[in-house]
Amino acid sequence: MPPRSLTILMPRTAEQRYSCHSCAGCCRDFTVQLRAEDVVRLNEQQWEQRLGRSPIVHFRGRDWLRQREDGACIFLQENGLCRIHDEFGLENKPLACQMFPFALAPTEKGIQVGLSYACPSMINNRGVELSRHADDVRRMARLVPELRQGQPRPVMLNARLEAAVDEEQAMIRAFERLLGRVDLSMGKRLDGAAWLTSMLRQAKLENVRGKRLDELLDLLVESFSEEIDAAPLQLPTSRQMKVLRQIVFAHVEDVKIGEVQGHGIGGRAITQFRRHHAFGRGRGAVPPVGPQWPALLRFEMVDGVQPATDEAQIRPIDFLLLRYVRSRIMGGRTWGAGYYGWPIITGLEALWMMLAATGWLARLHAGADGRSALTMADVQAALLRTDRAAGRAPWLGSRGEKLRLAWLAEAAGVGRLLHTMRLTEESVEADADDGAGESPDVASD
Ligand code: SF4
């Protein structure tokens, strides 16, 4: 089969901007897997002779960039810049380093570009319009031939039903419309998004295919506000809160190769079990959450922290949330090739739970600072942690994770937890130009 065309689909989130500001956050935080071509290039650059040891670590059958004791990349210099970049230029860095914070996934219509919010510039919306990166992304996509070979994996509506391209687009449009209800608070829109997902889980979708799915989605989007007013959400149960903390753990857990090699796989498994158990118990000291987080965190710090109530905090948080959710849904990072090959409905449930985990973590951040209401800084710190794992950490794509989500969804836990962990209190964006109603992606050939 000949390779498919190199159509680059940038998420059409007109409000999102990005340029790299060389903060070195990704160089300090990520474990970089190397492609065979990266290994060849690094060997040609003769680093082993110059550094006195190989910059490549072979671990569990794969090649990785070596990290320093503190977990940062071995090529990160004192001035915060990359030594490979300095000496050989951007295009001679490992592909994963060039690509971040973009993530590419093959789809029927082209190569979908997803955005990672584990990058401060993406979170802070700093830089140029996304379309300005299309040529560079195309250059990188050319370096990954497997993106264009073979048939992309089909997108599923749920575990049993394959989604037609039009049905997937209808889903995207429905969530776009719902999120674009600027007459409603962001919290209510997200409650509505979780409610819509739960309605779709319960519906017999085999009976509403094609145009009928469109009609069903229209009906649900039109009625969601009245429906959720008519049936206020209950508080989550203690078991549901425990599962939420375990989901937080799954998002902040970080496997550093040096740590595994130092403790051995058995030793690592024991410390991992201890951390998992601590999150489940939810009392006492919180295991480490990430670099630049306070060391002495306690679970009790989360208690009593409220959503942001100050308008000066609400507006930027809501705008960040809107950009983030739209980029996940419209940038192909919520289901299909961009999210562990998961069906649309399961992927949406994972997204809502990831946001609930972000709300929990933001409360921990605020509590550690002695504040009783969330601020933008808390939300930024939390999202920087949670989004680095979503769609990337293998354990978040596991069968166990799917079962956990299914259990929560069946017991109405997803909506309850998302609402309880909401980031802002009721407020209506009167004049935000969030581009509601635009088509989902911009094709650039
Ligand atoms: S985290 Fe973002 S802004 Fe910072 S160096 Fe990496 S890509 Fe650039």
Q: What tens digit of pLDDT does each residue of 38-85 get? A: 999 999 999 999 999 999 999 888 999 999 988 899 999 999 999 999
- Give the least confident one: 27-31, 268-272, 367-371: 268-272
Whole-model pTM above 0.75?
A: yes
In this structure, which residue's CA is closest to atom 6 in ligand 1? Answer: 26
In this structure, which residue's CA is closest to atom 2 in ligand 1? Answer: 119
Question: What's the CA-to-centroid distance between 385 and ligand 1, angstroms?
Answer: 14
β-sheet bridge partners, residue 423: none
β-sheet bridge partners, residue 104: 113
Q: What tens digit of pLDDT does each residue of 155-211 get? A: 999 999 999 999 999 999 999 999 999 999 999 999 999 999 999 999 999 999 999
Q: What tens digit of pLDDT does each residue of 330-374 get? A: 888 999 999 999 999 999 999 999 999 999 999 999 999 999 999
In testing the pocket of ligand 1, which one of 16, 17, 19, 21 has its CB within 8 Å of the most ligand atoms? 21
Residue 427 has pLDDT above 60, yes or no: no
Question: What's the CA-to-centroid distance between 23 and ligand 1, angstroms?
Answer: 5
Question: What's the CA-to-centroid distance between 16 and ligand 1, angstroms?
Answer: 16
Q: What tens digit of pLDDT does each residue of 87-113 get? A: 999 999 999 999 999 999 998 888 999
Residue 439 has pLDDT above 90, yes or no: no
Question: What's the CA-to-centroid distance between 318 and ligand 1, angstroms?
Answer: 23
Ligand 1 atom at minimal distance to the Cα of residue 121:
3
- When the pLDDT of each residue in the chain is averaged and rounded to a whole number, the result is 90
In this structure, which residue's CA is closest to atom 4 in ligand 1? Answer: 23
Residue 267 has pLDDT above 70, yes or no: no
Ligand 1 atom at minimal distance to the Cα of residue 101:
7
Question: What's the CA-to-centroid distance between 144 and ligand 1, angstroms?
Answer: 22
Ligand 1 atom at minimal distance to the Cα of residue 22:
5
Give mean pLDDT, residues 414-430.
84
Instruction: Give the binding-site residues of ligand 1, using a 6 Å CB cut-off.
Output: 20-26, 100-101, 119-121
